[in-house]
Structure 1
Amino acid sequence: MEENKNIDKKSLKFLKGKNTDWDELAKDCVSFANAQGGFIYIGIEDAATLPPEKQKIVDRNQPDIIQKNIAQRTINVSVAVTIETAENKAEFLKIQIFRNAQTIASTTDGKYYVRVHDECKPIPPDEMARLAADRNAFVWEEQITKKVPASQFDESKRINFIREVRNSQRVSSFIKEMSDDEILDFYFIQKNGYLTNLGILWIGKRNDRASLLYPPAIQVIRFDDKDEKVWKLLLDDYFANPKELLEKVLNDVPDWQESVEVSEGMFRKNIPFFPIEVVRELVVNALVHRTYTTRGDVFINIYPDRMEIHSPGRLPFGVTPKNILSQSIRRNEHLSKVFYDLGLMEKEGSGYDLVYAKLLGSGKPLPTVIETNERVTVIVKKQFVSKEVVRLMDKASNEFTLKQKELISLGLLAQQQSYTALEISSILNQNEEVGLRNWLGRLIDLELVIKTGKGKGTQYAVNPEFIRKINFKGKTNLKNIEDYRLEELIFKDLTAYPNSAFSEIHQRIGLEINKHKVRRMLKQMVDNRQLKSDGIKKWLRYSIEQNM
C-alpha cells in the first residue's frame, strides 16, 4: 500500500488531542473530494504497509471526533471514518473521502485544493473555471436528461456490446454471468429505466445519438506540401458508436499502411511512418478523455512530414503536457472502463507509455503535446531519427525482453547518446532518484546503459561495448567524453587562455559537456597540482601550474 492519488497515510502521532492540526487534515480531505475521492489511513507510517504491531485505538470515540472536525472546517466534503483491524491484528483509522461529482469542495476559509498524484495542491483562481468544467464532465456519462427509454436501443449495437463483454478476457466471470440488463446497469448504460448519455452513445439509435449535446465526430484530412486538402474521411453522421468510430479510423485510412524499409547488410526492417498502435492509442485518448460538454470534432490532420490529432477541450485537471507520461486522470470514468474491458485501450496510466515506447523503439522522435484554452493537439513526426538508432533498438528488443519503461529510457539515450540524471528526469517527470531507477530498470544490470559521475554530475549513456557490437554510428558530440580527453581539452584551453573563469572554459571546450563533469575535472586537476586556482566564487580563475 503506497501513497498515490487515492491513498494518503499518517502516523497515529498526528492525533494530538487539542493540538491536532485539523486544518491540515481538512485540506487533504478537500483535495481528495475535488479529485477522484480516496482514503486517508491514520496509524500507518509513510514507508509502511501495515500499522505497528499491537497498535490499538484507545479512544473509541475518535471516528466521531475526526468526522466532526472535518465537517466544521470543510464545505461540500463527505467522509466516513471507521476503526479498522489490519492483517497483523493492529488497529488504525480509515477516513474514506467521497468524490464530489457535481460541486467543488473547499475549506471554510475559502481555499481550494486538489489531489495530484501523491500531493495536495492548491487550485489557483484562474483554474477554477477549468475545475468546474471537469465537474460537469464527470457526471455527463450517468445523466438521463434525454429521457430515452432503455427499450429504445439499436438492437445490433446492444447485441454486440453484450457479446463483447462476455467474450472479453478482461471481464470477470462474475460480470459475465449477469443477465443482459444487469450488465447494462453495471456499465451505466442504463439507469432507472432510461438510457444514460453513455448508453445513448454506445447502444442508442442514430437520432438519439445525434441529439446529445456534443456527440463525438471525427474528421481525417490529408494535406499536400502546400497545405491544400487532397483527401478526407468524415465520420460525423452519428451512425457509429465510439468503438465503430475507432475501427473506421484504423481500417479506412490508407496512410497507416505506408512505411519505409531500413536496410544495411543483413538488417531489414519496415518502419511505419505512423505505427498503428500509436494511432490507436491517440485516437482512443481523444475519444475517452475529451470533454463531452464542449463543442468540437476530433481532427486527424495528416501532413507530408507529420500527423496532428486535435481533441476539443483541455487536459484533465492535474495533467499537463510535461507530466502526461507519469500522470493519469480519467475524465470519463465509465467510458474508460468500457474501452478497457473491451480491450480497446491500455490500462489506466499506460497509454502514453505505449506511444513513447513504440515511437522510440522505431527510432522516431517523441510526440509533441500542445494544450490551448480550447483543445489539445498531439503531433507525431513522420521521419525517424536515423537507421542506426533503429538498428540499436531492434537489436536490444530482440536480445533482451525489455519492459516498456526500459524501452523508453533506452530509446531516449540512443537518440541523444547520453543524458544527465537531471535531463532524463525532466523528460520522464521524475523528481526523485527512486522514480528514475524505476524507469531505467535493468538497463544498467544488462550492461545496455552505463552510469558515470555522482550527484548532479551523474550521467547515463548507452554502453559503448553494445554500440561497437552492432557497429552503431550515432551523431558525434562531446557529451560522453572520457575523463582523460576532457583533461586534455582543459589543459590545451588554459595553455591558450590562462587565468580563465569556469564559464569561459566551459564555453570554449563545449557547452554540451555536463557542467558538473567539467567542475569535477577542474577540481581534480587542481588537487593533482596540474592547475592552480585564484579567487573565490565568481572571481575564481584557473591557470596552468608553472612548476609542472
Structure 2
Amino acid sequence: MRLEDKNREYKSLKKAIGNKANHRDLAETCVCFANGQGGAIIIGIEDKQDAPPAVQKIKQEDINALVKSLRQLTDGVSIISSELITHANGGAYFILNIQPSTRVIATTSSGKVFIRISDNCYPVGSDELTNLAAEKTAFQWEIITAQKIKLGDADPQKVKNLISDLRNSEKVSDFIKEKTEDEILAFYQLLSPEGFLTNLGVLWLGRSAQIARLSYPVTVQYIVYNDREEKIRKKEWHFHLHSPKELLLAIEKEAVELTYSAELPDGLFRKNMRQYAREVVRELLVNAMAHKKYTISGDIFIEVYPDRLKITSPGSLPLGVNSRNILHERQRRNPHLIQLMSDLSLMEGEGSGYDLVYEKLARDAKPMPEIESDFTKVSVSVFSKTMNPEVVSILDYIDKHYTLTQKEYITLGIIAAHKKMPATQLASHLQLSQDDRTRTWLGTLLEKEILVSQGEKKGTQYLLNPKLFEQARLNITPSLKTMESYKLEALIKEDLKYNGKSSMSDIKKRMKEVPEADIQKAIYKLVADEDVAASGGKKFRVYELVKKK
C-alpha cells in the first residue's frame, strides 16, 4: 500500500481525463507542490493502492491536453509530464512532476495560493503571504554570489579543513570523496558554476572581512541568569570570526553551565544526570544556526536560567510547521547548509532533529520542549529537572533489557513521567490529530508488557506495568495515581465507611494524589452498581455507602 506524503499525491484517472475531470482541483495541487518542495502527482493509481486497474488504458494526447490545461490554470508552476507508464499488471498510469518555485509565489489563474503540509494542501491567507515570500528569499540566500569572491581569495586553511572533514566523514559516499576539491565544494553549493563563492561558501570558507559583509552578520549571545533572573555571566561569539563548525565547538567548550549534572536516587546508590543532555544541547544549537533566516537581522540568544535553557534565533519556523506539529512535519530552510552539517555529523538529518530531542528528554522523564514562534523569532525552552526522579531508574532498567524504537521511547517517557495517561492526552502530547494514530507510537510496548492499559476506546488509559518495578527490584514508593479502578472503588467505599456522607469535593480532598477524573468515574460506577447512594441537588449532592442487608 502506497501512502501520500508531502511530495507525493495519488489521483484517480477520472479526476484528470474524461467527463468527470476536475482540472481546477489538480491545478491547486500543482500550486501546493510548487510552493513547497516540489512533488509528483501519480495519475491513474488510487490513494492507498499499489497498482492501476489492469484494464486501464491512457492516450498520450490526453496527457498532453491535461498538461496544457494545467499550465493555463496556474502561474509560476513548472510542470513536467512523464511518458506513459505501463504497470506489470498491464494497467497504464503517468506522473506529473512539479518543480519547486524558488523565486516566485505560485498561484492558480484565479489568484489563489496553496501550500503543501504533510499529505494535504492548505490555502495561504493574506497574512501568511509575507511569510511565504520570505521563505522563497531564504531559500535563495545560500546560492547567491553577491560578493563575487574567487575560491583563491578564501581562507586556505578553512578550505583544507572542510575538505579533510568531508573526506573523513562516514556519512559522505565514496563517490563524493573521490571528486576534486572544486567538485566537492560545488556539490555542496559552496562554489557556483562560475567559480565564485556562494553566500554559503563565504560563511564556511571566507575570511573574517568577507563573512562580515554578508547581508546580516550574526552574533551568538550566551547569557547566564541567577535565581532573581539577574545576568551573572555573558559571552559573545561573532559569526565572521568562525566557520559554523568552529562556532559550534567553541560554544560547547565555553558554555560550562550546560554541562552541569544533578544527583538522582538509584536504589541504594545515587547517579549523576546531566541537566541538559549533550545531544539535546547540540541539536538545539545546530537548529538555531541551520534553520535561521539569514535574510533578516537578529542575533542568536542562548539564555541559561536555574531551571531551564532557552535558545532564540531570528525568523519564524518554516511555513507549515508550528509548535503543535513539529514532531511530524518535515520542511526545509537552508537545505544546503543542513546537508553539509549533517554530512559532517554535526546534526541529525533533515527533519529528524526534534525526534532526537524528544527522545532524549523522554528517556530522562523531562518535560517536552516549549516552542514559541512568530514572524521575527523562534524560541525553544528545555528544562533541567526531571518530572519524576523515581521513573528514571525504571526507564534505565527498560533500556538495558528491551530493544525499543525511537517512537516507543518517546511514548514510554511521556507516559512514565505522568505515571498514568488517558489515550486522548497521549495523542495530544504526541501531536497526533486522531487517537487511533497512537498505535504506531505505542508499537510493541503493550505486547512486551512494558505498559498496561485500563478502560476501553476513548476511556483507555496507559500506565507502566507494576510488574516491572518487581523485576527491577527498585525501592519505589507506591502511588495512588496508578491505582487500578477496582482498588480505587474499594478505597472510596472504605473512605465513605469512616467519613459518612461526603460531597465529591470532600472525597477528592482526602485523595489528593488520585486524578479527579478517576475519582469521579469510580463514584459514578459505584452509584450505578448501587454500592453508593447519591442524594441532594446537582450543586449540593452528597454520597454515602449503601448498607447491605
Task: Report the 3-state secondary structure (helix = DSSP H, G, I; strand = E; otherwise coil) of the residue aligned with 1:233.
Answer: strand
Code of the aligned partner of 1:113 = F
C-alpha distance in 2 between matches for 1:511 and 1:112: 51
Conserved? CA contact 2:310–2:379, under 8 Å: yes
Alignment equivalent of 2:255, drawn from 239, 253, 256: 253
1:237-276 map, 5 Å = 238-276=240-278
Inter-CA distance 66–506: structure 2 relative to 1 (3 Å threshold): farther
C-alpha distance in 2 between matches for 1:505 and 1:112? 56
Query: For residues 249 and 226 of structure 1, what CA distance do their matches in structure 2 show?
Result: 25
Counterpart Cα distance in 1 of 2:268 and 2:532: 51
Letter in 1 for 2:217: P
Shift in CA distance, 303/398, structure 1 to aligned 2, threshold 3 Å: same
Greater shift, 175-184 or 51-60, is seen at: 51-60
Q: Distance in 2 between matches of 1:21 and 1:542?
A: 62
**Secondary structure of residue in 1 paired with 2:240:** coil
Note the C-alpha offset of 1:326. Answer: 1.5
Which residue in the other structure is 2:390 paired with? 388
Question: Are 2:367 and 2:387, in contact at CA under 8 Å, matched by a contact in 1?
Answer: yes
* Residues 504 and 38 (structure 1), Cα distance of their counterparts in 2 relative to 1, 3 Å cut: farther
CA separation in 2, counterparts of 1:479 and 1:317? 41
- Partner of 2:54 in structure 1? 54
Q: Which structure 2 segments of 5+ residues have no match?
A: 536-541
In structure 2, what is the equivalent of residue 318 of structure 1?
320
Asked if structure 2 preserves the Cα contact closer than 8 Å seen for 1:457 and 1:514, the reply is: no
Residues 317-342 of structure 1 deviation map (CA, whole Å, 9 limit, x = unaligned): 11111211122211111111101111
Aligned mates of 1:109, 1:507 — CA distance in 2? 62
| Conserved? CA contact 1:418–1:462, under 8 Å | yes
Q: CA 1:208–1:507 in 2, change beyond 3 Å: closer, same or farther?
A: same
Q: Check 1:117–1:332 CA distance in 2 against 1; reply closer, same or farther (3 A cut).
A: same
What does 1:154-173 correspond to in 2, within 5 Å? 154-173=155-174
Change over 3 Å in CA distance of 1:475–1:544 after alignment to 2: closer
Q: Find the residue that maps to 1:238 and give its secondary structure.
A: helix
How far the C-alpha of 1:410 sits from its partner, in A, is 0.9
Q: Which residue number corresponds to residue 194 of structure 1?
A: 196
- Alpha-carbon displacement from aligned partner over 1:492-523 (angstroms, at most 9, x marks no partner): 8799779x9x9999999889758599669847
Cα shift at 1:120: 0.8
User: Which of the numbers 273, 290, 300 marks the counterpart of 1:288?
Assistant: 290
- Among 223, 226, 233, the alignment partner of 1:224 is 226
Distance 1:194 1:517, change over 3 A: farther
Equivalent residue, structure 1, for 2:16: 15
TM-score when normalising by structure 1? 0.89
- Distance across 2 between alignment mates of 1:474 and 1:310: 39
Q: TM-score, normalised by structure 2?
A: 0.89
Calculate percent identity across the aligned residue pairs.
36
- Look up the match of 2:349: 347
Aligned partner of residue 218 in structure 1, secondary structure? strand
| CA deviation vs aligned residue, 1:25-48 (integer Å, no higher than 9, x gap) | 111111111111111111222212
Q: Which whole-Å CA distance do the structure 2 matches of 1:56 and 1:267 have between them? A: 70
Question: Given residue 251 of structure 1, which amino acid in structure 2 is its aligned partner?
Answer: K
- Output one character per residue of 1:117-136: Cα deviation in whole Å (capped at 9) or x when no partner: 11111112211111111111
CA distance in structure 1 between the aligned counterparts of 2:169 and 2:410, rounded to whole angstroms = 29
Within 5 Å, which residues of 2 pair with 1:139-538? 139-191=140-192, 192-236=194-238, 238-433=240-435, 435-470=437-472, 471=474, 473=476, 476-478=479-481, 480-483=483-486, 485-486=488-489, 489=492, 513=515, 522=524, 526=528
Q: How far off its partner does 1:433 sit? A: 4.6
Aligned to 2:77: 77
Residue 294 of structure 2: SS of its match in structure 1?
Answer: coil
Aligned residues: 541
Distance (Å, rounded) in 2 between the aligned partners of 1:57 and 1:10: 15
**What CA distance in whole angstroms lies between the structure 1 residues aligned with 2:417 and 2:448?**
19
Q: Distance in 1 between matches of 2:423 and 2:532?
A: 28
SS at match of 1:39: strand
Aligned partners of 1:181, 1:62: CA distance in 2, in Å?
Answer: 45
C-alpha contact 2:266 2:393 (8 A) present in aligned 1: no
Query: 5+ unaligned residues in a row in structure 1: which ranges?
Result: 535-540
- Asked whether the 8 Å contact 1:76–1:105 carries over to 2, the reply is yes
Partner SS, residue 309 of structure 1? strand
Distance 2:66 2:455 in 1: 49
Alpha-carbon shift at residue 469 of structure 1 (Å): 3.5
Q: Matches of 2:509 and 2:26 in 1, distance apart?
A: 51
33-42 or 386-395, which deviates more: 386-395
> Secondary structure of 1:19's match?
coil
- Once the two structures are superposed, residues 176-230 of structure 1 have per-residue CA deviations (whole angstroms, 9 ceiling, x without a partner) of 2211111111111111221111111111121111100123331212222233332
SS at match of 2:326: coil
Please state how far the C-alpha of 1:296 moved relative to its aligned partner: 0.9
Q: SS of 1:394's equivalent? A: helix
Quote the Cα distance in structure 2 between the aligned partners of 1:425 and 1:13.
36
Q: Which residue of 1 aligns with 2:539?
A: none
Pairwise CA distance, 1:532: 9.5
Instruction: Indicate how the Cα distance of structure 1 residues 254 and 492 shifts in structure 2: closer, same or farther if over 3 A, else same.
Output: closer
